[in-house]
Amino acid sequence: MGCMLCFISQIVRAQHPLMVSYVEHPAVTKKYMPVVKAMYQEANIDTKLFLVNNSPRSVKALNEGFFDADIGKILSSIKGQENIIYVPTPIASVSLYLICRKQVVCDKKVLDDNKSIIASRFNREMLTNILPIRASISQILSQQRINKMLRIGRVNYSLVADDSDQGDARFHNEFQVIEVSRENYYHILHRKHRHLISRLDAALIKVLTEGLH
């Protein structure tokens, strides 16, 4: 009887994997995604990953239950989304960096200057959820394009979110870089899966303690 129940459980798991979204970003695909995949494997829960745009729409879609979970977000990016919950142990910390051309003043006052124009992959709503900004935000979805614009002086500033441990390293040779914000990064789920939180948290703690295999 016990074996039969195990067999049925395996069939149910195979038929209903959790749909987990992710965004295209080096820190997500190379660092956070392997941790989340290992967490689910440790918790014996099947998942299916799929790519979404990094925008408020994907967060709202999760809040409305169109899929089950997302690899991770900082909590300021899910403000007001009452149906989104998170595994309490953070996966990592994420920083928001102000990237400046070397020929200009580079400090947090730039964010409060309504004459400043800042290029970013993120829109105004996403950025102002993190910290107050009076500067104009020009959303450009390609960071490579923004970097080219910085090099030729088309823009003076950019805001970039990346892993706190090493996220700013790739900019230091060419630009000035300052950290303007830092937050923990959590795996998030729709609240219909709240019964999984303690199980996933225990699995995540084990993965972070023992490392990836």
Residues 12 and 87 in one domain: yes
Q: What is the pLDDT of residues 142-180, one digit of tens each?
A: 999 999 999 999 999 999 999 888 767 888 889 999 999
Average pLDDT rounded to a whole number, residues 30-54: 96
Token code pair at residue 81: 């989304």
Q: Show the domain range for 119.
A: 93-183
Residue 16: what pLDDT? 86
Q: Which helix or strand (DSSP H or E) is residue 8 part of? A: helix 2-15
Of 90, 111, 108, 126, the closest CA to residue 179 belongs to: 108
Residues 136 and 189 in one domain: no
pTM attached to this predicted model: 0.86
Residues 112 and 176 in one domain: yes
Token code pair at residue 183: 């937050």
Q: What is the pLDDT of residues 88-122, one digit of tens each?
A: 999 999 999 999 999 999 999 999 999 999 999 99
Residues 106 and 133 in one domain: yes
Number of domains in the chain: 2
Residues 168 and 106 in one domain: yes
Residues 168 and 204 in one domain: no
